Every structure is written in C-alpha cells, then in structure tokens.
Structure 1
Amino acid sequence: MTPEAEFSEAVSGLAPIALRTAATLRLADHIAAGHNTATLLADRIGADSDVLGRVLRFLVVRGVFGEPEPDVFALTPLSVTLLDGHPSKLCAWLDEGGIGGRMDTATRALTVAVRTGRSPYASIHGDTFYQDLAKYRSGPDFNTLRQSHSESFADEITAVFPWEGVQHVVDVGGGTGAFPEALMRRYSGLHTTLVDLPDAVAAAVRRITAAGLEKRFTAAPGSFFHPLPSGADVYTLINVLHNWNDDDAVRILRRCAEAADRNSTVVVVERLIDGADQRAITTMDLRMLLLLSGKERSLTQLRGVAEAAGLVHGQRSATAVGLDWVTFHTSGTQQPAADNRARGPSVLSQEFGSDIR
C-alpha cells in the first residue's frame, strides 16, 4: 500500500471498525465451522445477510477474508488470528463486548485528552480504567489477555539480565506470573515473589502451581503503592511505569527503593520513546495517555522519575522484542553482590501478609 493509500485508509476509520465487528460476531469461527456464505452466517448469528455480505467484502478486499467464489467466504492467514482459540487472543482484544472494547471507546476521545492533558476514560465510563476493570466482568477475562501479552516477551527478557548468582527476585506488578515462571524454569536455584492485585496473583498461583514451581514462589497480593517485600536481590517492573503519570511512577519506584537494600537492583523493562519501532511506541504512548494518563518515557525522563524516588541509574540494554531494560540502584553499585542475599520467601510472606497458595 502506498503512503497515500495508507493515509486514506486511516482517515476513513472503517477498517478497524469492520475488523472489530468481525471479531465480536466471531465470523472467523463460524466460517471455519462451514457457515461460509452471507446467508448461512446471517442465519447463524441473527444478522441481515445483505449488510453482513457488504462487511465481509470490505474485509475481503483488505485480505482479512478470502472469497474463492462469489458469496463463499474463507479464512486467510489474517483471519486465522481471529479464531477464538488462537494464541494471540486477538479476537478477545477486539470484542466490543469485553474490556478491550471499552478501552477502544476511550481512544475515540483523543481530542479531549489533547485539550485536558488527562485520560478521558473516567468521563466516558464513570470510573478510572483500573476501577472499571475491577468491577467489569462482561466479555473476555482481562487477566487471560494480559497473560498472552506477557508470554510474548517473558522468555526474551530472562536472557538479558545477568541472573547468575541472584537468589531472589520480586516482580512488582507482575500480573499472572509469566515472567516469574520463565525465570524459575531457566534458573533452578532462584526464588521469586509476585506483587499484584489479588485476582492477578490468584491466576499466577494457579500458573506457577501447574508448572510445579510453587516451592520457589511466594504470592504477595496487594498494591505496589504500599510497602513491598524487603531485601530482595532484584526488583522488576515490567511494563508497569508507563501506565502511570510521573508522580505515581515516583511513588512506585520509591516503594522499590524503600524495600531494596544497598546491594539490590531495580530493573525497569518497557519501551523507551527513542526505541527502534516507532509505530509501536507512539501507538502505546497515546494508548497509555487515553486509558491511564500514563506515557512512554525517554531514558532521560525515566532517570528523572527514578532519581526523584532516590534511585541511581545503572545501565540500559535492548531486547530483541523491542523492550528496553534499564537498571537502577540505591547506591552506586552496578550489580547485586553475591553475598547479602535476601531472606527466604516464607519469611517474606509473613512480613508482607497472606500467602494465598
């Protein structure tokens, strides 16, 4: 597609809407099951066959579906990703009836965000994103979507940091446990603790238990705005800080600094604004603004919030999946020392609160 044609498609705005319609109606799954004409599909889903056929042809022209003969539709490599069982979970993200659809509603209020400098989410839905997420139960489960996203990079980021000799890692805001699982699989002597809200931590416990790694794992349900488990070798924040404005990012990092000892390392993993994939970075930057008043930061901006929290910058590394890995310390130490290791996870669970295993 030429730049002019791409611009014209973006201006029309119809392609993403048609794609979300196809996902919400589960057209790919129905076609895969043999309901492959507009009439059969309309009967199956309770739709107008003429309008449905027009939507399908709109998507055929764009390669989403195929039309091997008139009014007979087929899957293409693109529409295969819309199948309910596809590992990308793309259909769930695009479903207008789920949390992904509610997120997309907020993206339509970019003009409001530009004028106010704040997320329009609460003005649209009545609650902030996280408040809405906590009570909104219609449609696909957000933790399932979050897990599929984490799995796409968990193995890659375990290969960047020098984990040899590290005994205990606290994953702050670690979701459903994809990273702790990948880390413990790779390093048999390493213990992890996961801090997140109770529903995410419960999902992580199920995941870690199914993997047979529960003896080296501690669940720490709670908010990362509250005191964190103390004295670990490494504190990781993976795709966490970009969800928050600068003041809240400082509060989160300050909790890490308070929990860390003089030899601990705080690791921030997310896309920096000067990274290579500018399409992905600029998209995520606006998404964070619209949903959460968050932002993608430059290295200088990230250093600024870390220094305000009492942390000293160490080094930056890039991963193959486009994420940057930036280390910080409570002192000038560049790597966690081999001695002065953290206490065992059973002690940590007593200090922090309930262990829901």
Structure 2
Amino acid sequence: MSAATPDGTTAPSAVERVTCMGTLFTPWAIRAAVTLRIPDLVAQGFTEPGPLAACTQTDPHALLRLLRHLANLGLLQSQGATGFGLTELGQVLCRDHPAGIAGFYDQGDAWARAGDHVIPGLLHSVRTGQPAWEDVHGKPFWKALAADQELAEAFDRAMSAHISGVGPWLAANRDWATARHVVDVGGGTGMLLVALLRGHAHLRGTVVEQAATAERASALFAEEGLSERATALSGSFFDALPPGGDVYLLAHILHDWPDKDAVTVLRRCADALNGRGRVFVVDRIRAELSDTESEETVAQLAVSQRDMAMLVVLGGVERTEEEFQQVGKRAGLRLVSAVPTVEKGLFLMEFAPER
C-alpha cells in the first residue's frame, strides 16, 4: 500500500521499496540491455521493438518485455504508439558515455562476467570473512588472472577505465615542480603515468606490475613516444621497489588488501623513497553512516557497494580516513592531506615519512 505525501501524490510503501531493492531482475535486465547494446541502438534510431529484435537477434515479444521493464526503471521512455526513446539515465549505459559504465555490465566481457558471478558468494564471505572468488571460480583471484589471458586483459581494461579521469586531474591539481621520478606501483597498463608525463615534460616514470601487464605498459609508452622517459618493470609490490623515487603512487591498490598486506605495500614505498619523497594514494574513503539522505550519502552507497566487492573478490576493504591514518602509521608514514578528486568518494591522500 502506498502512502499519501503532503502534495497529494503517493509515495511507495516500505514493502514496495524493499521489493524493488531486493529483486535480482533489475541488475540483470540492465546487464542484458548493455550486452545486447540496446541503449546504443536506441540512440542510433532503432526505437521500435521489431527492428531492435532483428538487430539484437532476440525474440521480439521477449525483448518487448525487457524494454518495458527498462522503461519502468526510467532508462527508456515511451515514444509514439509502440516505440521507445532513451532517457538521460539510459544515455549513461551507452558505450561512448564518458563514465564508461557499460563496460562493467557487458556479459561479453570476461571481467564483468566473472565479477558478477562471484556476487552470490557474498553470504559465504559474510559467514567466513574470506573472499568468495576461489569458492566460485576454483582459484584465488590473482592465480585466476595469471591462468586466463582473456580475463587478465579484460581486468586491465577495467582498471584503465577506473583511472582514466584520475591521471589528467592529478597532473593538473598537484605541484610536480620539485618531483623528478614517479613510480606508479601496480600501475596497470600505464595510462595514469602517461597523463602525468604528458602534463610535465621534466618527469620520468616507472610502472611496477606483473609481467604480462608490464609488457602492455611498455607497448603503450612506445605508442605515446615516451619510451625514453617511462619504463615498466616486472615485479611485486610486496617486494623491494625501485629506490630513489620522488613520488610513489598507489592508485586503486590498497583497497584490494586487508590491513596487514596494505601496511606491507606502504612500507615498501616508504623504504624506497628519497629523503624528500611522498607516497600518493588514490582510493575511496568510507564516511561514517548518516541518517539524512543527501548527495553525499548516494556517493557513499557506491563506496559501500565497492566495499562488498572487495570482500567477495579479494578480501580487501574500503577504509575511513582514520583507518588510512592507522595503516600509514604502521608503515612509518603520516597522512598529510586527503583531497577529493574527479569522482565523489574518491580521494588523493598524501603520505610523508614519519620524522
């Protein structure tokens, strides 16, 4: 039963709201739509169910039922007698949208598919405190990547999408005048380092990554004409890092790991720093719970969802600022600052050696 609001409209009842929250059909309907490229096709003018079914090689009546649900979600809207148009929300699911969300929902992508399939293991993780990846896929996460090239390449693409906006922001919003050498620890295929070197011609850079990913980073540096200023080394951030860097950068790394391992990674960075160096950490900061709904609480909902993803996939955790201070202190580092970046909930934290 719905309740009346002060303006005379009706608001969903608690039962209706919880039912909408709990259904699995909505996330899988969105994934089906993205995998079939329905938002892109509608944006291109395929607005009628018949032509859409022909393009997607689907059953016309079944597709119509999916389109109706997408319209009820506000992703599509009725257009003419039988057609559908794309809403502002629906545009976010197009392949060319700058947010890059579609790639994370496309079930044709090995990383999106494998990540989604591990989510039902949440109950296992809550009961045991351990990641569910191995229970679902038969191997621990990092071993699964090493054994499956398609999965590893898809994972690299997803991580590149995560940091695509961070590099230009970082290049423009920090003072790099006194830095000479940046070491991007676990820096993926090198996109973030490329943005820094493009923005600051005096910088040199090194990516430290697993062997296959380091090769892809080397190829990117060559394509960008940066091979004389950028190198990619095969290695683990649990081992000694290349010494003497001015900045050691950890972007979307620490949340992959429980505290003990996060402290080890930070300590490796601290040990490698030159005397004036800094450690930059790009990660989400989990805020304390709030009883009032606001734009910030919506951002924190995304952080709490990512926190569960870290739990089921890797056994990692999204941390509060105080928790980052504590892991830094255990590694011999003090948290100097934490500033918001291009994405709500995502911060750049600067750590300096304890004196």
Alignment TM class, shorter chain as reference: 0.7 to 0.9
Whether the 8 Å CA contact 2:171–2:200 is kept in 1: the answer is no
Counterpart Cα distance in 2 of 1:270 and 1:285: 12
Counterpart Cα distance in 2 of 1:248 and 1:242: 10
Query: Given the superposition, is the C-alpha separation of residues 3 and 266 from structure 1 closer, same or farther in structure 2, using an over 3 Å criterion?
Result: farther
For 2:4, the equivalent position in structure 1 comes to none
Structure 1 residue 133 displacement after superposition? 3.0
CA displacement 1:76-109 (0-9 Å, x = unmatched): 3333333334443322210123211211222222
CA displacement 1:200-257 (0-9 Å, x = unmatched): 3333333333333332212112221222111111111111000111122122122212
Counterpart Cα distance in 2 of 1:299 and 1:34: 47
Name the aligned partner's letter for residue 193 of structure 1: T
Name the aligned partner's letter for residue 319 of structure 1: P
Name the aligned partner's letter for residue 306 of structure 2: M
Does 2:351 correspond to 1:328? yes
For 2:329, the equivalent position in structure 1 comes to 307
For 1:286, the equivalent position in structure 2 comes to 308
For 2:137, the equivalent position in structure 1 comes to 125
Counterpart Cα distance in 2 of 1:33 and 1:259: 52
Does 2:263 correspond to 1:242? no
Point out the more displaced range, 240-249 or 317-326. 317-326
Whether the 8 Å CA contact 2:336–2:352 is kept in 1: the answer is no
For 2:6, the equivalent position in structure 1 comes to none
Point out the more displaced range, 13-22 or 273-282. 273-282
Total equivalences in the alignment: 331
For 1:149, the equivalent position in structure 2 comes to 162
What SS does structure 2 have at the residue aligned with 1:141? Answer: helix
TM-score, normalised to structure 1's length? 0.83
Whether the 8 Å CA contact 2:172–2:199 is kept in 1: the answer is no
Counterpart Cα distance in 1 of 2:235 and 2:260: 20
Query: Given the superposition, is the C-alpha separation of residues 138 and 153 from structure 1 closer, same or farther in structure 2, using an over 3 Å criterion?
Result: closer
Whether the 8 Å CA contact 2:338–2:349 is kept in 1: the answer is yes
Counterpart Cα distance in 2 of 1:116 and 1:189: 49
Name the aligned partner's letter for residue 156 of structure 2: N
Whether the 8 Å CA contact 1:176–1:200 is kept in 2: the answer is yes
Unaligned runs of 5+ in 1: 333-357
Whether the 8 Å CA contact 1:263–1:331 is kept in 2: the answer is no
Structure 1 residue 57 displacement after superposition? 0.6
Structure 1 residue 284 displacement after superposition? 1.6
Correspondences of 1:1-357 after superposition (within 5 Å): 4=14, 6-32=17-43, 34-98=45-109, 99-134=111-146, 135=148, 137=150, 141-274=154-287, 276=296, 277-309=299-331, 311-321=332-342, 322-332=345-355
Query: Given the superposition, is the C-alpha separation of residues 252 and 140 from structure 1 closer, same or farther in structure 2, using an over 3 Å criterion?
Result: closer
What SS does structure 2 have at the residue aligned with 1:195? Answer: strand
Structure 1 residue 110 displacement after superposition? 1.8
CA displacement 1:279-323 (0-9 Å, x = unmatched): 2221221111111100011233223323333x2204122124332
Counterpart Cα distance in 1 of 2:281 and 2:13: 35
Counterpart Cα distance in 2 of 1:78 and 1:181: 32
Structure 1 residue 13 displacement after superposition? 3.0
For 1:339, the equivalent position in structure 2 comes to none
Query: Given the superposition, is the C-alpha separation of residues 104 and 274 from structure 1 closer, same or farther in structure 2, using an over 3 Å criterion?
Result: same
TM-score, normalised to structure 2's length? 0.84
CA displacement 1:14-73 (0-9 Å, x = unmatched): 221110111122223344455433333333333222121111111012221233123323
Unaligned runs of 5+ in 2: 1-10, 289-295
Structure 1 residue 165 displacement after superposition? 1.1
Identity rate, percent: 33
Whether the 8 Å CA contact 1:56–1:65 is kept in 2: the answer is yes
Counterpart Cα distance in 1 of 2:205 and 2:152: 32
Point out the more displaced range, 311-320 or 19-28. 311-320
Query: Given the superposition, is the C-alpha separation of residues 6 and 162 from structure 1 closer, same or farther in structure 2, using an over 3 Å criterion?
Result: farther
Name the aligned partner's letter for residue 162 of structure 2: H
Structure 1 residue 158 displacement after superposition? 3.1
Name the aligned partner's letter for residue 182 of structure 2: V
Counterpart Cα distance in 2 of 1:203 and 1:304: 34
Whether the 8 Å CA contact 2:166–2:341 is kept in 1: the answer is no
Name the aligned partner's letter for residue 283 of structure 1: Q
Higher relative contact order (CA 8 A, sep 6+): 1
CA displacement 1:93-152 (0-9 Å, x = unmatched): 101232112112222222211111111111011122232233151698332222222112
For 2:8, the equivalent position in structure 1 comes to none
What SS does structure 2 have at the residue aligned with 1:171? Answer: strand
Point out the more displaced range, 298-307 or 278-287. 298-307
